[in-house]
Amino acid sequence: MKKTYKIEVDCANCANLMEDAARKTSGVASAVVNFMTQKMTVEFVDGQEPKAVMQKVLRACKKVEPDCEIVL
Amino acid sequence: MNKKQKRMLARIVIAAAMLVVWNVIPIAGALRLICYLIDYLVIGYDILKKAGKGIWNRRVFDENFLMAVATVGAFALALYSGSGDYNEAIAVMLFYQVGELFQSYAVGKSRKNISALMDIRPDYANMEQNGKLVKVDPDEVEIGSVIVVKPGEKIPLDGVITEGNSSLNTSALTGESLPRDAKAGDSVISGCINMTGVLKVQTTKEFGESTVSKILELVENSSSRKSKSEDFISKFARVYTPAVCYSALALAFLPPLIQMAAGNPAQWSVWIYRALTFLVISCPCALVISIPLSFFAGIGGASKEGILIKGSNYMETLSQAKYVVFDKTGTLTQGVFEVSGVHHNEMENAKLLEYAALAESASSHPISKSLQKAYGGQIDLSRVGDVEEIAGYGIKAQVDGRTIAIGNSKLMKELGIEYYDCHSVGTIVHIAVDGEYAGHIVISDIVKPHSKAAVAELKRAGVEKTVMLTGDAKRVAEQVAGSLGIDEVYSELLPADKVAKVEELLSAKQEKAKLAFVGDGINDAPVLTRADIGIAMGAMGSDAAIEAADVVLMDDDPMQIPKAVKISRKCIRIVYQNISFALVVKFGCLILGAMGIANMWYAIFADVGVMILAVLNAIRALRVHGLGEKQ
């Protein structure tokens, strides 16, 4: 399953870091962060609950970039 | 400016004012230190906090860390040497914050500009309910509903006009400024602006499937497909920052230790200062921000011109196109065929055309359409049966109980029917009735008005070879190619042969020269996918083309092809300019910094200045309007 979330992030490098962090989160099959449109598209592993996974993604992202925000 | 940016601006102004005041009034000793320290914290507390968090989360090497170490180091050095010159640390932080503010402002601004360019999303649809017009969400309109579009409004969903006449402005979709006339019975696509009359439109698609949604989705996803340059930069940044940090560490400790070992004075403060300068210079922001911004601006500018590029990687490939392969029908020619003659027939012209039109009634090929048009009458499908379409040959069908075979000379040979060749240039459709030759119909296609200029313009833009593929007869193909100035022609190809031919061309060329295929998206989807880059023309309403192609031209004017190539070249040129400019300045300053020639002031220019210039340069990619015109 694929879902798109709105994000807030100020710098392009931070967006790359968020993408990396999201990809490494368990339950995420793939993730793409689009800095220009301020969107994160996450593909979830089958059978995973997106809401729970996104909480983990948000935590992981906050760790690499404290200023970022994901609108869940 | 948003809230965050305003707050930052206030901090910058306060910190700068404090710095000036502290420098004017005479203060000394501990008071001086405290005053400057307050100023430093006003401008840099968030950087210090982020750097601390970074270390806490075991992610040490980021730009916050670089800035924190450099400025704290400069402070400590001033304290240690007793000079009391704290200006440098504060100035570095100040400039860094100014740069960051500018970056976030410029990027935010251009993001808004580009999004505004692509703002073709309709907000509402008018529906008639109980005799009154009600505005509803386009998402809620079901297929087959009738919507009302008033003058000045965007058409929210794809559909067919049931009532009304108007002219439509398609420029948001095609870049073409000439309005298009629309009347009852015409199909219209979402995103066009209704200019003159009220239209009633029966929708044929849901909002999610409508042209406007597809285009928006495509453009928004386009920057997710990353180009090689972008990949290079992300990989580069990953290696670069730690490498710089270790080099700075080495610069701070190795030379003094060597000096000490050699019995000379160690000069710790000199080398630590150099190492700090080195750190300030090294921030990779200019690269990391300007490359995706250039691509995004390029893609945004192109879509304004009616050229949809599906990703940065395609932008890159398109800029390297050296071979352009065209499909003939619908691409270079209008694909509007007209019957220009009926020869060698024994029955009446009208009768022959009637048989032809009926036999071809099931086919959507442009040739069948022209036959039906020439026949002019109503097609009564009950008269037709047993239709068998033989791809690349023609059609066999029963009409009024008689067996009609209609197709090219290959079909006649296949059926063992003797036929007459034609001397006119055009597509020849032979007809046999009940196994007897009944004559042939000459159909000719019209070359698009700009085809010749487009081919010439492509050559000027640096394309080495143009090739035309067609299923048409050799004589027609050569005549068209000759008149347009095309280098190579391959004719009488079946759809599968076109793929084979493109593969042949692909294997013959060098790896670096890319091959672009241009088709109209009808029945050449496999070729579009196979080529290095597939360009679909006149995609207004054709989903298959939007799916299969890498670049979609909303208009069917061939001048859009050289325009697309030029836009991509400009965009890539800007990308390379930024990469090389940033790298040269950075490495130059790094070396100067290591040798002690560049101080922190140079360093801050190398960081912030380069970043600002690169961002401004990137925004240039948005301006592509004049590129299509002949120079």
What's the rounded mean pLDDT across residues B98-121? 74
Does residue B377 sit in the same domain as residue B432?
yes
Kindly state the DSSP code that residue A45 receives in the 8-state scheme.
P
In a domain, B556, yes or no: yes
Tell me the pLDDT tens digit for each residue of B182-211. Answer: 888 888 888 888 888 888 999 988 887 887
What pLDDT is stored for residue B631 in this prediction? 43
Which residues of B sit within 8 Å Cβ distance of A? 4, 49-50, 53, 57, 59, 62-63, 100, 103-104, 107, 111, 114-115, 220-221, 223-224, 234, 237, 284-285, 288-289, 292-293, 296
What pLDDT is stored for residue B324 in this prediction? 93
Q: What CATH code is carried by the domain that includes residue B146?
A: 2.70.150.10
Pull the structure tokens for residue A2: 């694929």
Does residue B311 sit in the same domain as residue B455?
yes
Residue B592 predicted with pLDDT over 60: yes
What pLDDT is stored for residue B553 in this prediction? 87
| pLDDT level of residue B114 (50, 70, 90 thresholds) | low
Q: What CATH code is carried by the domain that includes residue B525?
A: 3.40.50.1000
pTM above 0.80, yes or no: no
> Any catalytic annotation for residue B327?
yes
Which residue from B443, B247, B221, B434 is spatially nearest to B329, judged by alpha carbons?
Answer: B443
Distance from CA of A49 to the nearest CA of B (A): 24
B5: closest chain A residue by CA: A10
CB contact under 8 A, B284 and A39: no
Does residue B451 sit in the same domain as residue B317?
yes
What's the rounded mean pLDDT across residues B602-620? 82
CA atoms within 13 A on the CB side of A64: 20
**Tally of structural domains, chain B:** 3
Pull the structure tokens for residue B326: 């065209």
What pLDDT is stored for residue B570 in this prediction? 93
Residue type at B292? P
What pLDDT is stored for residue B59 in this prediction? 66
Which of A9, A36, A37, A42 to mutate against chain B (most B CBs within 10 Å)? Answer: A36
**pLDDT above 90 covers what percent of chain B?**
11
CA B488 from centroid of its chain's CA atoms: 28
In a domain, B261, yes or no: no
Most confident region among B7-16, B164-173, B410-419, B468-477 by mean pLDDT? B7-16
What's the rounded mean pLDDT across residues A3-14? 79
Domain containing B130 equals 125-216
Most confident region among B76-80, B312-316, B622-626 by mean pLDDT? B312-316
CB contact under 8 A, B288 and A64: no
CB contact under 8 A, B111 and A11: no
| pLDDT level of residue B565 (50, 70, 90 thresholds) | very high
- Contact residues on chain B for A37, CB-CB shorter than 8 A: 111, 115, 220, 223
| pLDDT level of residue B419 (50, 70, 90 thresholds) | confident
CB contact under 8 A, B285 and A38: no
More confident residue, B565 or B285: B565
- Contact residues on chain B for A41, CB-CB shorter than 8 A: 221, 224
Distance from CA of B289 to the nearest CA of A (A): 5
In three-state secondary structure terms, B403 is strand
- Contact residues on chain A for B224, CB-CB shorter than 8 A: 32, 34, 41
CA dist B164 and B346 (Å) reads 46
- Contact residues on chain B for A16, CB-CB shorter than 8 A: 234, 237, 288
CA dist B611 and B607 (Å) reads 6
β B488-490/B394-399 pair status: unpaired
Tell me the pLDDT tens digit for each residue of B520-541. Answer: 766 677 888 888 999 988 766 5
Which of B231, B289, B313 to mutate against chain A (most A CBs within 10 Å)? Answer: B289
In a domain, B550, yes or no: yes
In three-state secondary structure terms, A7 is strand
CB contact under 8 A, A36 and B50: no
In a domain, B581, yes or no: no
Render B160-173 in DSSP notation, one character per residue: EEEE--EEEE-HHH
Which of B62, B327, B557, B607 is an active site residue? B327
CB contact under 8 A, B292 and A64: no
Does residue B359 sit in the same domain as residue B439?
yes
| pLDDT level of residue B118 (50, 70, 90 thresholds) | low
Does residue B456 sit in the same domain as residue B565?
yes
CA dist B462 and B562 (Å) reads 10
Does residue B374 sit in the same domain as residue B462?
no
Tell me the pLDDT tens digit for each residue of B249-267. Answer: 898 888 888 888 888 887 8
Does residue B470 sit in the same domain as residue B491?
yes
Does residue B517 sit in the same domain as residue B421?
no
Residue A40 predicted with pLDDT over 80: yes
In a domain, B451, yes or no: yes
Kindly state the DSSP code that residue B110 receives in the 8-state scheme.
H
Which of A37, A65, A67 to mutate against chain B (most B CBs within 10 Å)? Answer: A37
Q: Domain boundary at B413, B446, B479, which?
A: B446
Residue B445 predicted with pLDDT over 80: no
Does residue B429 sit in the same domain as residue B541?
no
CB contact under 8 A, A36 and B114: yes
Pull the structure tokens for residue A55: 């909480």
Distance from CA of B19 to the nearest CA of A (A): 27
A32–chain B Cβ distance below 8 A for any pair: yes
- Contact residues on chain A for B221, CB-CB shorter than 8 A: 34, 41
CA dist B35 and B334 (Å) reads 76
What pLDDT is stored for residue B260 in this prediction? 87
What's the rounded mean pLDDT across residues B36-44? 89
In a domain, B255, yes or no: no
Does residue B457 sit in the same domain as residue B560?
yes
A21: closest chain B residue by CA: B59
Q: Domain boundary at B411, B446, B481, which?
A: B446
Does residue B329 sit in the same domain as residue B342?
no
In chain A, what are the domains?
2-71 (3.30.70.100)
CA dist B366 and B445 (Å) reads 10
What pLDDT is stored for residue B630 in this prediction? 46
Q: Domain boundary at B216, B245, B264, which?
A: B216
Most confident region among B10-19, B414-423, B470-479 by mean pLDDT? B10-19
What pLDDT is stored for residue A14 in this prediction? 76
A16: closest chain B residue by CA: B234
Q: In what order do the strands lie in the sheet with A28-34?
A: A28-34, A39-44, A2-8, A69-71
Burial of B370 (0-12, 13-18, 19+ CB in 10 A): buried
Distance from CA of A27 to the nearest CA of B (A): 21
Residue B222 predicted with pLDDT over 80: no
Does residue B403 sit in the same domain as residue B468?
no
Residue B387 predicted with pLDDT over 70: yes
What's the rounded mean pLDDT across residues B554-572? 90
In a domain, B22, yes or no: no
What pLDDT is stored for residue B132 in this prediction? 84
Tell me the pLDDT tens digit for each residue of B46-88. Answer: 888 888 887 887 766 667 787 888 888 888 888 887 777 788 8
Q: Measure CA of the first residue to CA of the last residue in chain B; give whole Å.
A: 40
More confident residue, B446 or B563: B563
In a domain, B83, yes or no: no
Nearest to A34 among B49, B224, B234 (CB): B224
ipTM of this complex = 0.71
